Structures are given as structure tokens and as C-alpha cells.
Amino acid sequence: SAKAAFLKPGISAVRAGSQPQGAPAVPRQSRRRKSVAIAYEAGQGDGAEARWEPPRWREQLQRIRQMRSSRDAPVDEMGVHRCYDTGAPPEVMRYQVLLALMLSSQTKDQVTSAAMLRLRRRGLTVDSVLQMDEESLGQTIYPVGFWRNKVKYIKQTTAILKQKYGGDIPSTVEELVQLPGVGPKMAHLAMHIAWDSVAGIAVDTHVHRISNRLQWVQKETKSPEQTRVALEEWLPRDLWKEINWLLVGFGQQTCLPVNPRCSQCLNQDICPAAKRL
């Protein structure tokens, strides 16, 4: 499986790194104990024994899962994964996912969902968007944030998809971020949702803010992209897909940008930011 493929390099590296080359032999029992300690305490990836990870992050994560168990945040009910036509051909579904992601930037899920519904009623395909004039497209997606810029980006990107990808969307992050109006967060979410592939962590403003509040980054990060890099250095890869969904909903309901509801948060006693906010 894809998950197994991701995990195997980390596991083999840990086993290989448990006994430094040229070190004197140690008793079998001691060596086994050390191997277990590295495998579970040093994190994933290259087997480094001093790999940093946040204190109590597993406990914090489990409590966030508990708070998100009802799955009733806006992202759950109106997020991009709910915006495409599940009955459409695969390439059309993927195109609709990418379009929803482009519309969602700096826009509430409710507004994105409504705009996508209006587009789908007009028949949302690469060809239909290419045939639509900019004024009609703008009227259809309004009032998404920066809708005028998004009209231009959508038209440009759709033309590229038609010419270069046969109407489908690229299947790599590197190609996706080359499209007009598509940033790293959108690219990683497109990989998750459209291609069912985990190439990295999708970090938006919610994930960025909460990661810094929980001190899930070794030092404060200034942008979502910095946060993505910092999280990927220590967070086990099998959690990369889940973390966006968890933290976005948590940020919409509890860990708000302004006046976070710390009194309602199960992590209040172990969140570094709770007492300061």
C-alpha cells in the first residue's frame, strides 16, 4: 500500500541506524532495547537519534481528534472534498477539485461551496469554462475573495490544462504549483483529494496558526510554507493527510484566530499558548 511504501524507508533507516558503524558489540538484550527506543522516540525518516519533536504532541493530537469527532465544522460539511460532482468522469472531478481549491483561497467554505454549486449548474468542465466569458465567470463565482484575480487565474489555468494535460490536472506538486493561482497548500490538497496521494502536508492559515500556538514547530514560523517544512521534519508521514482536516476544523470551531475558545478546549492545560491568550 501507499502508506506502507511511505513507512518502509523510515523503519529500515531506524533499524540500520541503531548500531553505529565500527562500534563495539553490545549484548543482544541491550541492543534490542536501544533499537526500540530509537524506533519509537526518535521519530520517522533518517533514523537520527536526536530528532526533535514537540513534547506531549501525541496527547494534544488525540484530544484534538476527540474535539473533532462530531465532524460538524464548515470544512466537514462544505470543504473542497464536498464541492465536486462525484458522478462526473475522473478527469472532470479532478478539475473541479482544483477549481474549488483556487476559489477557496482567503474565502470561507460556505462561500466557496455556493460558488461551486453555481458553476456546476452551468456544467463545470474544462471546455465549459473556456467557453465562458470573463464577465459571466466573475458573476458566477462572486463574492469569493479576490474574485477578479481568480477569474483570470481560472481562465489561464484551464487553458493550460486543455493544451498541456488533455483536460486533466497535473499529478505532481511541482507541476501543480506552476499553474496560475495555485500555491503549495492547494497543490498538496489537490494531491490528497484528486489523486489520493500524500506528497506533503497542506498548510493553510489554520494549520499555520495552531502549529505555532501548540509549538509544533521548533521555532516560530512566519508563513504557512515555513510551517509545512517544519512539520514535515518530525510529524510521522502517516499523519500528513489527516492533520489538515483535523486542524482546519479545530481552527474554525475552537482555536479561533481572534478570541480562541480556550475554556472549551481539551488541551487548555497542556497548550503553551492557552494562558497567554
- Which residues have C-beta within 8 Å of that of residue 269, sequence separation ≥ 6? none
Q: State the cell numbers at 44.
A: 520517522
Query: Quick check: is 185 catalytic?
Result: yes
Instruction: Read off the pLDDT band of 67 (50, 70, 90).
Output: very high
Query: Could you tell me the domains of the chain?
Result: 59-70+202-264 (1.10.1670.10), 74-195 (1.10.340.30)
Cα-based torsion angle of the residue sequence 71, 75, 78, 84 in order, rounded to the nearest 10 degrees: -110
Instruction: Say what the pLDDT of residue 208 is.
Output: 98
Question: pLDDT tens digit string along 126-147?
Answer: 999 999 999 999 999 999 999 9
pLDDT above 90: residue 206: yes
Cis, peptide link before residue 180, omega less than 30° from 0: no
pTM over 0.85, yes/no: no
Rounded to the nearest integer, the mean pLDDT of the chain is 87
Q: What is the mean pLDDT of residues 1-19?
A: 40
Tens of pLDDT, residues 26-61: 444 444 443 333 333 334 445 445 789 999 999 999
- pLDDT tens-digit readout, 154-168: 999 999 999 999 999
DSSP state of 216: -
14: pLDDT strictly greater than 70: no
Please tell me which residue in 150, 155, 185, 241 is annotated as part of the active site. Answer: 185
Q: What is the CA radius of gyration of the chain?
A: 22
Angle at 275 between CA 273 and CA 277, to 5 degrees: 65
Question: 30-39, 68-77, 129-138, 230-239 — which is least confidently predicted?
Answer: 30-39
pLDDT score recorded for residue 50: 74
Categorize the per-residue pLDDT at 9 as very low, low, confident or very high, splitting at 50, 70 and 90: very low
Alpha-carbon torsion angle 54, 59, 60, 62, nearest 10: 130
CA distances from 87 to 84, 91, 97, 263 (A): 9, 11, 13, 43
pLDDT at residue number 163: 98
